[in-house]
Chains A and B, each alone.
Chain A
Amino acid sequence: MSTATRFYVGFLVVALLIAGGLSYFASSAPDGLDTVALNGCQSVQTAGGEELTGDCIAQHAGEHATAGSPLADYSLFGGHGTVGPAGIIGVIVTLAVAGGLFWLLRRRGTRP
């Protein structure tokens, strides 16, 4: 393998390890934006699921249009403990979309 290929393969392996393995150790606390959106509300469990009481921005949030996606919420079909495989699929799909677009856009025949 050339050094360039080795570097690219190494970069991809690191991304796959992060999405497929380290993701299990990610914090489940709301992120910065979510913390702001939830400020002023309490989450209470009701018969109909989780509800927000009080007054906060997140009460205006709508159901996601692709909430029924098999990968919704970084899981496989909502399965518990599937964040790793979902992350690996995400890395591969992202690489395919971005790599494909950038390869099509590149200036041809220029290898400095």
Chain B
Amino acid sequence: MVVAMHMSDGLVNAPTSLAFGLFAVLVLAVAVNRARADLDDRTAPMAGLVTAFVFAVQMINFPILPGASGHLLGGALVAILVGPWVGTLCIAIVLLVQGVLFADGGLTALGMNITNMAIVGVFTGYLVARSLRRLAQRSRGGLLAVAFIAAFVNTVVASLAFVLEYALGGAGGASLGTVFALMVGLHALIGIGEGLITAATVGAVAGTRPDLIYLLRQPVRGRAAAGSAR
């Protein structure tokens, strides 16, 4: 049974929490603006369903070591399926619902949880997937490999964002070196699960509706930004 999965209140001091809260609000405002170009009658329902799917899968903690588990963060998954701006909003909505209704993730830590998973996680996954999109567009196997790699990297980099927050304003209780080593080590293991879930999900969508996969719609040549080619 799941109880809590995200940062609680009090792990990081108030000024740091506030700074990341403001940062999250600013990025979400930009994301709302930029997401419009990627949303139409066909992709808007897809984005809503992807968000609900991430909520569901985040409930499934899988064992990584005796006494430790992990769960999907979802950054690369949403970036590949619906693009980085819409994807950032997807994960932020999941975190908002979890924080407000399910008492999971402190409300003063919401800015940091959004920063780590909805911003750092999504954009890391997107940058990795986009840099490998030639491979992703070549074959189904290529797509699955790209999904796995992007998801693995997004998990580890998102965990580093917490280490940064702890370095800036951590409440104490553990040394920064210990926090760094444990976060990266555990999230490298979680990243394998994240990669498998992401590849399986992207593969299932590719098997039925490949046209709904954002990454596969991106032009391989040229520097056309998302949506501007229409």
Q: Which residues of A come within 8 Å of B, CB atoms?
A: 3-4, 7-8, 10-12, 14-16, 18-19, 22-37, 39-40, 55-67, 69, 71-74, 83, 86-87, 90-95, 97-103, 105-107, 109-112
Contacts and interface: CB of A to CB of B under 8 A. Distances in A.
A81 to B, nearest CB: 9
A70 B162 CA distance: 29
B52 A12 contact: yes
A9 to B, nearest CB: 9
9 contacts: A15-B56, A57-B179, A60-B171, A61-B106, A62-B106, A64-B107, A71-B102, A87-B59, A90-B101
A11 B106 CA distance: 30
B174 to A, nearest CB: 5
Given A31-B5, A103-B48, A39 B68 contact: no
B130 interface: no
Interface string B85-129: 010011001101111111110110000000000000000000000
Contacts of B100: 66, 69
A107 B40 CA distance: 5
A22 to B, nearest CB: 6
Contacts of A103: 44-45, 48
B44 A30 contact: no
A31 to B, nearest CB: 5
Interface of B: 1-11, 32, 35-37, 39-49, 51-53, 55-57, 59-64, 67-71, 86, 89-90, 93-94, 96-104, 106-107, 159, 162, 166, 170-174, 178-179, 182-183, 186-187, 189-190, 208-209, 212, 230
Contacts of B45: 8, 99, 102-103
B89 to A, nearest CB: 7
Nearest to A41: B173
Given A60-B11, A61-B11, A106 B44 contact: yes
A104 B74 CA distance: 23
Contacts of A91: 52, 55-56
